[in-house]
Amino acid sequence: MKVKLIKYTNDPERTCAMAAKLCYSNSDIEDISGKMSSDDIKKIIRHILSVRHYSVLEHASFTFGIEGVSRALTHQLVRHRIASFSQQSQRYVNLEKPDYIVPKTVSKNKQINKKFEETMEYLWDTYKEFVDAGIPKEDARFVLPNAASSKIIVTMNTRSLFNFFNLRCCNRAQWEIREMANLMLKEVKKVAPIIFENAGPPCNTGPCPEGGKSCGRWKKTRKEKE
């Protein structure tokens, strides 16, 4: 899996801080921007996060290039509606070469892994046979599995990313999308460390919402903050 932050709003924390300050100021926009120091920006960002004034966070967006993930993952990913997605098309791209993701639970079991790989080879051989027989790629792809590897470009604003990290960095999330979410969080922290300093699963900042299905991580997090 490869996750790279390929583009983002210039100076995202200043942009969000300007939006927040404008809501409560009579000053001109140019004056607001010029008068904010790094400390001012930190203070404003932390304040808007504490009072959950999340609308101002929507002014900063982040675009990720993601490779080596399964179609099973991207089917989950596109459920996040406030985002933009551009995915490698199985309709137009010829996928004759087998390329798929193997879950660790499968790869650790030699017998199951062998059967998994044999199944993948069979499915791709069938796909190639259909294409060679003149079946359109958009129809031949019907035999390809959820394990098929894919590439996708994703753009989300900060508010949407908060929701995404809240759900997908949780230990209860499916392993592959959780791994991707953690890599995405690592990337945005490089360019907006104050905004995303507490982003992640809900137990980072409060109680676990999973009830009896909780992994128990919230207890450790709470102890560390005491």
**CATH number, position 75:** 3.30.1360.170
High-pLDDT (> 70) share of the chain, %: 96
Q: In what order do the strands lie in the sheet with 149-157?
A: 2-8, 61-70, 149-157, 84-87
Domain span at 125: 101-143
Same domain, residue pair 81 and 116 = no
pLDDT at 214: 77
Q: Does the pLDDT value for residue 113 go beyond 60? A: yes
Residue 224: its H or E element:
helix 217-225
Same domain, residue pair 105 and 177 = no
Q: Is 71 a catalytic residue?
A: no
Catalytic residue among 168, 178, 217, 222: 168
Same domain, residue pair 114 and 170 = no
Same domain, residue pair 180 and 134 = no
| Per-residue pLDDT tens over the stretch 14-34 | 999 999 988 887 777 777 777
| Per-residue pLDDT tens over the stretch 189-209 | 999 999 999 999 988 877 788
Q: Does the pLDDT value for residue 225 go beyond 60? A: no
Same domain, residue pair 20 and 54 = yes
Same domain, residue pair 155 and 81 = yes
In a domain, 139, yes or no: yes
Same domain, residue pair 110 and 10 = no
Same domain, residue pair 31 and 136 = no
Average pLDDT over residues 131-141: 96
| Contact (Cβ atoms closer than 8 angstroms) between residue 218 and residue 38 | no
In a domain, 80, yes or no: yes
Same domain, residue pair 180 and 117 = no
Q: Does the pLDDT value for residue 217 go beyond 90? A: no
In a domain, 96, yes or no: no
- What is this structure's pTM? 0.91
Domain count, the chain: 2
Average pLDDT over residues 96-109: 96
